[in-house]
Amino acid sequence: MKFMMMMNTPGGGPYQINKWPQKDIAAHIEFMRGFNKKLVASGEWVTGEGLTGPDRAKLVRAGTDGAPITDGVFPESKEFLAGYWIVDVETEERAYQLAAEASAAPGPGGTPLNMAIEVRQVMSGLPID
């Protein structure tokens, strides 16, 4: 079963990580790289990416003529999607275990961030009633 694990982080402007000491940023990134390598080694990795902050985001919709209409940026959002993983695991519980591990990524001073990770199953077809 495939699940998307979405890492949410507090909003309020550009990534707060930009204000961290360089050694804490390096430790956080190293944790994420190690986590990704573990997923690859276990065969559970499908894909994953980090995303730019909401200060670079735009909402896009089609206008009546089909041309894109943009809205934003939204730097004051309460939380924002910082990145995601798609994993292929045997059970929903395994996806929850992986999300909890990702949630504990180190923050300033090495303290676990305990970030909210939203876990949702990837639909492989239309929902069945």
| Beta carbons within 10 angstroms of residue 12's beta carbon | 13
Q: What is the pLDDT of residue 42?
A: 98
Give the pair of three-digit tokens for residue 126.
């239309």
CATH class of 2-121: alpha beta
Report the alpha-carbon angle 108-110-114, nearest 5.
80
Q: Which of 1-10, 51-60, 61-70, 106-115 has the lowest mean pLDDT?
A: 51-60
Quick one: pLDDT at residue 70? 84
Residue among 50, 22, 6 nearest 108 (CA): 22
Query: For the chain, which residues make up each domain, given as ranges?
Result: 2-121
The per-residue pLDDT for 109 is: 94
Alpha carbon distance 3, 121 (integer Å): 4
Would you state the structure tokens that stand for residue 104, as one six-digit string? 């504990």
Over residues 4-52, the pLDDT tens digits come to 999 988 765 556 788 899 999 999 999 999 999 999 999 999 999 998 8
Q: How does residue 122 score in pLDDT terms, banded at 50, 70 and 90?
A: very high
Residue 128: pLDDT band (50, 70, 90) is low
pLDDT of residue 85: 97
Rounded Cα–Cα distance for residues 82 and 60 (Å): 19
